[in-house]
């Protein structure tokens, strides 16, 4: 059975529209001031000079909005991957916090 000539333009148009729809992307939600779990190191600069005990690390997590904390001592091996939900706590050889940074 053959397709009537009148339906060919409609079928071709439908094929093009379906192909274009498959390539369409959905719109991203608008960015917020700070996404939940995203680190903001400014909130924890009070910790510089303190020892990174569990209470201090917990408060740093809370104050920075981070989900994960990493205490880095001199010479310690660390991955170079950037994670927006992680706070890095730099500690000197005397055990005092020298820096708070995200990543």
What are the pLDDT digits (tens) for 31-76? 444 455 799 999 999 999 999 999 999 999 999 999 999 999 999 9
For 19, other C-beta atoms within 10 Å of its C-beta total: 9
CATH of domain 41-102: 3.30.10.10
CB 87 within 8 A of CB 39: yes
Name the nearest CA neighbour of 47 among 59, 35, 37, 36. 59
pTM above 0.75, yes or no: no
């Amino acid at each position: 059975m053959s397709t009537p000539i009148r339906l060919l333009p409609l079928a071709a148009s439908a094929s093009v529209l379906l192909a274009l729809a498959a390539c369409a992307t959905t719109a991203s939600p608008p960015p917020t001031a700070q996404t939940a779990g995203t680190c903001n190191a400014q909130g924890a600069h009070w910790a510089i000079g303190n020892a990174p005990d569990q209470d201090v690390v917990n408060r740093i997590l809370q104050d920075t909005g981070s989900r994960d904390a990493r205490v880095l001592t001199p010479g310690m091996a660390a991955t170079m991957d950037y994670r927006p939900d992680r706070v890095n706590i730099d500690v000197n050889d005397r055990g005092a916090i020298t820096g708070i940074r995200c990543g």
